[in-house]
Structures are given as structure tokens and as C-alpha cells.
Amino acid sequence: MPECPLCGKRSDRLVKVELEGATIETCDSCARMGTRVEVKVHRHMPGYGSAGSGADIVAASAGTEFVADYGARISKAREGVGLTREELATRINEQESVLRRVEHGEMEPDKSLTRKLEVILGITLREAKKE
């Protein structure tokens, strides 16, 4: 079953939506955050893993750690798309206080929140662990 890249929920089918200029496939509930786009006939492309992007993200999160300036990256990217912290929190269904602590570097976002922030803001919050 495909996994929603935003909330991590497994869903029978993912809906293609446009969110902050990026086209992603999400579950029904996350699709409400974006604009639905026309779903084209799904062709299996060679070289495109059948595991889907959700599984790729999970695999990529192993052996990674948060970048030192993850909080600054989030607030900078958020301001870049013209969202207040409250608006972003509402959009990703999180408490504004949680987002504030994350942006201040007081708290590392959990897996689901990290994913939502990375997808919506188009940023990377993790990097490969250094030895």
C-alpha cells in the first residue's frame, strides 16, 4: 500500500495535489491542504521503484541526523513562502507552539513533522550521519 509522504499514513490510493508549487501524491486528508490536479493514467516507468517515494523517504531517514540549523532553515523557508508560523502550523495540522520550539532549535521535529516540513517547504532537514 502506498504511504502518504506528508502524514505517513498508508492509504489505498494517493491523490495527486499541487502544494506550494510542487506536485505530490498524498492521502485524502492531506490532499485538502493542496489543490487537486488531474490524475493521468499511471504508466509504470522503467527505473521508477515500485516501492514508491514514501518508502524511499523512510529508507533515507535511517542513518541521518538533523542539520545543526534545522530551526533556522524552517523559519527561513516558511518566510520565503510568505506564511506566518500560525498559518504553517494550521496547514500541517500541528500546534503553533510545537513549530515555534522546532524553529528555535529547542525540539527536533518527529518523523511525520519532519516529512511534512520538508515536502511543504521544499527543504532538507537531515543529512547523512558523520562518523
Are 17 and 24 contacting, i.e. CB atoms less than 8 angstroms apart?
Answer: yes
Cβ of residue 108: shortest distance to Zn ion, in angstroms? 21
Our finding on whether 7 is near Zn ion (CB under 5 A) is yes
9-17, 74-82, 89-97, 104-112 -> range binding Zn ion (CB under 5 A): 9-17
14, 17, 24, 30: which one contacts Zn ion (CB under 5 A)?
A: 30
- Are 3 and 55 in contact, with CB atoms under 8 Å apart? yes
Distance CA 4, CA 53 (A): 9
For 106, the grid coordinates are 529547542
Q: Decide: is 6 part of the binding site for Zn ion (CB under 5 A).
A: yes
Report the distance separating Cα 27 and Cα 9, nearest Å: 7
Contacting range for Zn ion; rule: CB under 5 A; set: 16-24, 26-34, 57-65, 89-97? 26-34
66 phi-psi bin (left φ>0, alpha ψ -120 to 50, beta other)? beta
Beta bridge partners of 35: 18
Q: How far is the CB of 14 from Zn ion (least distance, A)?
A: 8
- Closest to Zn ion by CB, 30 or 121: 30
| Only segment of 1-9, 32-40, 93-101, 104-112 that touches Zn ion (CB under 5 A) | 1-9
How many residues bind to Zn ion according to rule CB under 5 A?
7
Which of residues 2, 3, 4, 114 is near Zn ion by CB under 5 A? 4
Residue at 7: amino acid letter:
C
Instruction: Give every CB contact of residue 104 below 8 A, 6+ residues apart in sequence.
Output: 71
Query: Which parts of this chain interact with Zn ion (CB under 5 A)?
Result: 4, 6-7, 9, 26-27, 30
